[in-house]
Chains A and B, each alone.
Chain A
Amino acid sequence: MKYKGKAIKYGANVDTDVIIPARYLNTSDKEELALHCMEDLDPDFKKKADAGDIIVAGSNFGCGSSREHAPVAIKASGISCVIAPSFARIFYRNSINTGLAILECAEAAEGIQDGDQIEVDTDTGSILDITSGKEYRAGAFPEFIGEIIGADGLVGYTKSKLQKRGEEE
């Protein structure tokens, strides 16, 4: 998939409590979650985020809780992709499972400035900073993760797994 939007930059260790505070987890409605996304870290996030925008952050993005509400809230805010040098492992899994595009690229995370126009191609891992003219390349997903994404997420993958098992029996 190709996405284009402006970069919204944050530091390292953006945790799931600031992505979506637990006080709002009495619902799993994505539009409602999006209303409060990032509010404890950046009260202007909702105003800033336009459809297609890309979060560019420091290492260990999404550390903390297992709440899948975090990638869901980011995606429902219109964010197309998150670029960081590394992601906390549960957040990584949850993003793949809920269809939020994520790219691991330390150089891009450092080089891209807040507000830069960015174009990413999640299939090739190409990240183009249109503003600065610099191009970066993110690490490719392991093949297996590609299979999950290709199967339309973990649910699709599980359905075909169950179907295969049924046929074998």
Chain B
Amino acid sequence: MTMTQKILARHAGKKECAPGDLIEASLDLLLGNDITTPPAIDIFEANAFGQVFDRDKIALVPDHFAPNKDIKSAQQCSKMRKFAKEQNITHYYEQGQDGMGVEHVILPDNGLVRPGDCIIGADSHTCTYGALGAFSTGVGSTDLACAMAAGSTWFRVPEAICVKLTGKLGKYCSGKDVILFLIGKIGVDGAPYRSLEFMGDGVAELSMADRLTICNMAIECGAKNGIFPVDRITLEYLSSRIPGGYSEAPDWLFPDEDAEYAQTIEIDLSQIRPMVSFPHLPSNTHEIGSFPRIDIDQVVIGSCTNGRIEDMRRAAEVLRGNHVADGLRVIVLPGSQRVYKQALKEGLLEVFVDAGCVVSAPTCGPCLGGYMGVLAQGERCVSTTNRNFVGRMGHKESEVYLAGVEVAAASAVLGYIGSPEDL
């Protein structure tokens, strides 16, 4: 069995499971945000589900339209807050509090995710937590409502794709370039209903931030989940975050030698160049330097994909001593209160402000065209977020170019899409 299959079998109380099996699995953690939780609460209450199965295993994060952008979104957050209070939800995060921020930035950082866990979230980028060796996938509001009551849900055991990584990333490249490269290679439906199992010597060369970014976008090629093996880097990350420390992964959590993979994809990390996904699909990738000049109107740096402290450091490295190009707006969103505070301590926020960037509170706002940086007709944005669909960040005739932090920061200075090498 693969790592994913082992986790699912274990949570279904079975010794083994095979691709295609439909199983009922117990859940270690459930997540909802201010868009997906309110409909789940309606369903939960309309069906008199009563008490949630375990108040310690549910995380509720008002991050999409919060701090509230209008009365309707305030109503949604209010409904969620009230529910969290009534149900005495342990991991309800209020705006501004320590530990609060963009859901997929804070859950791993707050020590809520452990290797071998089985996790669902009513947000498609819940697949992020596979970076820590967990099975984690996105679902809708009805699934969330029913799982909050039952503590379990059904899954179809997925076939697997082995993504074998070798080599080491070059300068100005990060996990974002790896995942954009992979999506460009296999397409937005390249891994339908399947798990992406990352392995190979190259894994040891990727930081936790890189792995989180890679798993975050597994959904963008249709995958059910992405998952990394647990190694020294994972344990180091977890030891300071899991309450009481963490030193050893479950002894069963590794892929069997005879695990079956429907497909194997080999990626030499050293061959990857900074990537840019052109409108309007994440798979529409181009290497930096392979296309003519594209002028831009806005840059967004942040999100559940690239809003961690490592991303802030990379952005500041490029922006330090430089200034945002004339006529350009740049919005930097540290992914959480902790990232914000750390960036403040390290002087990164000052670098951003001096360079002419807006520094925002942690929120998903601009990534989904919600608020804070909505694009007008004909505008172009380079963004470190995860989707560039039609109308994703605003007007249906606006354009989003997805890239890693270095390209986004360099483009902010240049006024057109480029890399730090062009500065």
Chain A positions near chain B (C-beta within 8 angstroms):
13, 15, 17-18, 21-23, 25-28, 39-41, 59-60, 63-69, 86, 88-90, 93-94, 97-98, 142, 144, 148, 153-155, 157-159, 161-162
B interface secondary structure, majority: loop
Task: Take A25-B35, A40-B396, A60-B189 as given contacts and tell me if A155 and B146 are in contact as well, using a CB distance cutoff of 8 Å.
Answer: yes
* B73 adjacent to chain A (CB < 8 Å): yes
Neighbouring A residues of B207 by C-beta, 8 Å = none
Residue contact A66 to B36, C-beta cutoff 8 Å: yes
Partner of A41, one of B70, B142, B390: B390
Task: Take A22-B369, A68-B142, A90-B139 as given contacts and tell me if A17 and B387 are in contact as well, using a CB distance cutoff of 8 Å.
Answer: yes
Neighbouring B residues of A159 by C-beta, 8 Å = 47
**Chain B positions 380-398 with a Cβ under 8 Å from a chain A Cβ:** 387, 389-392, 396
Task: Take A17-B392, A66-B122, A155-B142 as given contacts and tell me if A28 and B192 are in contact as well, using a CB distance cutoff of 8 Å.
Answer: no
Task: Take A60-B222, A155-B43, A158-B150 as given contacts and tell me if A86 and B140 are in contact as well, using a CB distance cutoff of 8 Å.
Answer: no
B46 to chain A, nearest CB (A): 9
Smallest Cβ-Cβ distance to B122: which chain A residue: A66
Residue contact A154 to B150, C-beta cutoff 8 Å: no
Partner of A67, one of B35, B192, B281, B391: B35
A159 to B142, CA, bound (A): 13
* B193 adjacent to chain A (CB < 8 Å): yes
Neighbouring A residues of B121 by C-beta, 8 Å = 66
The 8 listed contacts between A and B (C-beta, < 8 Å) are: A17-B369, A22-B370, A26-B70, A26-B76, A40-B390, A65-B368, A88-B192, A162-B150
Residue contact A97 to B142, C-beta cutoff 8 Å: yes
**Chain B positions 90-146 with a Cβ under 8 Å from a chain A Cβ:** 121-124, 126, 138-143, 145-146
Task: Take A23-B369, A26-B76, A155-B146 as given contacts and tell me if A64 and B389 are in contact as well, using a CB distance cutoff of 8 Å.
Answer: yes
B254 to chain A, nearest CB (A): 26
Neighbouring A residues of B396 by C-beta, 8 Å = 39-40
* B224 adjacent to chain A (CB < 8 Å): yes
